[in-house]
């Protein structure tokens, strides 16, 4: 085996080990938008009951709703952790960066990033709305940081993503997972994208996983001069009920 092939094999093994390590968690990260899977289950069970009373064909959509619930629950409790572990491992962080997580919730992504920053800082901002995540609260995220052993390198803020309380060029990396799409109103999501770019250092990287509007985010980044803009699907592990609600990764770099 050539030296380059051997080195690639070692790097692949190291990355796989890192991904496995990042997926191990001690905190409690709740359920994303908990009303959604509950509604899937209620409708699915109701249709199965109707099928038992009236006609078997009603069971088919009932089964579909229950499968959607299963997909959703898998993603929110396991799949997204696997995907984000891979995304973070690929960043190749040195360990001394300042990283910002927009809409951090109970810390699923924030605290994985913090584990990669022994000499750095992981900062999370959120409005702590329980409709977006069950049990969402600053105190819950702080408890998770303590359970994960990274409380000393984590800072939490209550803030709107459209008006971040940080100076220009404060962060090496800005992350966001399933948060920006919760902002509504004409042009409001663009404000959050603009703020993410504002607080990035020159050469800093932006990495967003979201649904519905990543094409619009990418266009905004192009308009504002960001480079290395890429979008790609994240696969079945990041489906919130099925392929029609699939998360997409958007990455970009701020020019030096």
pLDDT (tens, 9 = 90+) of the chain, 256 residues, equals 443 433 333 244 468 889 999 989 999 999 999 999 999 999 999 999 999 999 999 999 999 999 999 999 999 999 999 999 999 999 999 999 999 999 999 999 999 999 999 999 999 999 999 999 999 999 999 999 999 999 999 999 999 999 999 999 999 999 999 999 999 988 999 999 999 999 999 999 999 999 989 999 999 999 999 999 999 999 999 999 999 999 999 999 999 9
Report the DSSP pairing between strands 121-126 and 98-102.
Answer: parallel
Residues 142/136, Cβ–Cβ less than 8 Å: no
Rounded to the nearest 10 degrees, the angle between the axes of helix 108-115 and helix 80-91 is 40
Across the beta sheet with 227-233, what order do the strands follow? 154-158, 121-126, 98-102, 171-177, 200-210, 248-253, 227-233
40 φ/ψ sector (left φ>0, alpha ψ -120 to 50, else beta): alpha
Cα separation, 125 vs 123, whole angstroms: 7
Q: Which helix (H) or strand (E) holds 11?
A: helix 3-23
Under CATH, which architecture does the 71-253 domain have?
A: 3-Layer(aba) Sandwich (3.40)
* pLDDT of 7: 34
* pLDDT of 12: 44
DSSP category for residue 78: I
Q: Which pTM value belongs to this model? A: 0.91
Residues 16/82, Cβ–Cβ less than 8 Å: no
193: which 2 tokens?
């994208």
* pLDDT of 186: 82
């Amino acid at each position: 085996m050539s030296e380059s092939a051997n080195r690639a094999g070692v790097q692949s093994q190291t990355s796989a080990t890192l991904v496995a390590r990042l997926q191990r968690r001690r905190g409690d990260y709740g359920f994303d938008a908990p009303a959604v899977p509950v509604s899937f289950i209620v409708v699915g069970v109701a249709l199965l009951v109707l099928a038992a009373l009236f006609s078997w064909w009603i069971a088919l959509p009932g089964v579909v709703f229950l499968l959607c619930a299963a997909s959703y629950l898998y993603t929110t409790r396991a799949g997204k952790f696997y995907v984000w572990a891979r995304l973070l491992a690929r960043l190749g962080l040195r360990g001394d960066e300042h990283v910002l997580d927009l809409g951090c919730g109970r810390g699923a992504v924030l605290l994985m990033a913090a584990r990669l920053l022994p000499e750095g800082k992981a900062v999370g901002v959120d409005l702590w709305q329980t409709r977006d995540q069950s049990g969402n609260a600053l105190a819950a995220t702080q408890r998770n940081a303590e359970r994960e052993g990274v409380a000393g390198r984590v800072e939490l803020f209550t803030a709107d993503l459209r008006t971040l309380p940080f100076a220009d060029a404060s962060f090496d990396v800005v992350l966001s997972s399933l948060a920006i799409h919760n902002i509504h109103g004409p042009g409001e999501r663009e404000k959050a994208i603009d703020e993410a770019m504002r607080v990035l250092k020159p050469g800093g990287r932006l990495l967003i996983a979201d649904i519905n509007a990543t094409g619009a985010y990418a266009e905004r980044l192009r308009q504002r001069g960001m480079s290395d803009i890429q979008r790609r699907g994240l696969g079945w592990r990041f489906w919130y009920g099925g392929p029609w609600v699939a998360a997409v990764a958007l990455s970009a770099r701020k020019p030096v």
